[in-house]
Amino acid sequence: MPLEYDSFYDFSNPLYLQQGDLFPNVPLVSLPPGKELILLRVPGSRARLRGLPGEAIEAVRERATDAFGDDEPEHIVALAQRAMGILITQTCDIEDTEQQNWLVSPAYSIDGSSVDRKTLFANKYSNLFLLPRHPNGYFEDSYIDLSDMRPVRRGSVGLPDRVASLSKATQNELAEKLARSLSRRWGFGPGEVVRVSGKYRCNSCNNYFGVGNPERDFAAGERFPGCPDCAEVHKTAAWYLLVQHRRS
C-alpha cells in the first residue's frame, strides 16, 4: 500500500541507533567483478601481511600465490565508496556486544535511474523501498534495493553521523517489505520448463479467498501453463511444488 509521506521521518532525534537510520558517508565495500582476488603482500618476498604497514604494499594476483592454503585471512583489493546508506540491522541487535558487523543498504538517486517514479511512490516494487526527499534538504528522492545489503563494521557509523530516522510506521513498513522481499514464496511462471514431476499449486491464488486452487500434476519436460483464475484478475501464475505432509 502507498506510504504516508507526510509522516515518513521521525524528527524527535531518538537517542539511540535504530533500523532505518540514514547516514551520509557510509563506507560501502564490494568485491571487483571476476572470480580471482587481488591480494596485498609484502613487497619482494610476497609474504602475507600481518597488518597494514606504513610502507609500500605489493598487489599480487591470487593465482600467483599460495593464498588461503592455511585458512588464514588475507588483505585484498576491493572497491569502496562513501555514500548515503540506511541501517538495515534490527534495532534490538544494533547494540549487541557480540555482533561486530551491521548491514547497510546504499541509497540511490531516482534521477538518472531506470526506476519508474510513479511505481516507486505507489510502493509497488517488491524489492525497492522509497526514501522521499528529506524536508531539511539532506537528500533528494532516493531508493534502496533490498537485495543490495553490505556489511559494515560497528563503529563505522555512529549517532552523531545520523541525518534522518524513520517514523515508527515507516519502520514497520520497511520491516514488512524486508520480510516479503527476502522470504516470499517463489513459483514458476507460464512457459517455464517443469524440472521435477509432481503436484503443484499456484502461489498467486493463495492470496485470495473464494478460489479453489486445486492441485495440478505436471511432468518433467512439460511447460507450466497459465492459471485461469489468475488470468481473470490480470495476475501471473506462480506454480510451486507440493511436498508430502509429515508429522514432526
Question: What pLDDT is recorded for position 32?
Answer: 84
DSSP code string of 106-137: EEEESTTSS--HHHHHTT--SSEEEEPPPTTS
Mean pLDDT score of the chain: 89
**∠ at Cα 200 (197, 205), nearest 5°?**
160
CA atoms within 13 A on the CB side of 56: 6
Q: Is the dihedral of CA 151, 134, 111, 24 positive or negative?
A: negative
- Candidates 3.50.50.60, 2.30.30.110, 3.40.50.300, 2.30.30.40; CATH matching 5-27+85-183: 2.30.30.110
Question: What pLDDT is recorded for position 2?
Answer: 52
How is the chain split into domains, by residue range? 5-27+85-183, 32-77, 185-248
Q: What are the tens digits of pLDDT across the range 166-206?
A: 999 999 999 999 988 888 778 999 999 999 999 999 998 98
Considering only CA atoms, give the Rg of the chain: 24
Question: What pLDDT is recorded for position 1?
Answer: 47
**Which three cell numbers, joined as nine digits, stand for 122?**
505507489
Q: What are the tens digits of pLDDT across the range 3-28?
A: 566 789 999 989 999 999 999 999 99
State the pTM of this model.
0.76
Average the pLDDT over 94-117 and give the result.
90
CA atoms within 13 A on the CB side of 182: 12
Residue 45 DSSP SS3? coil
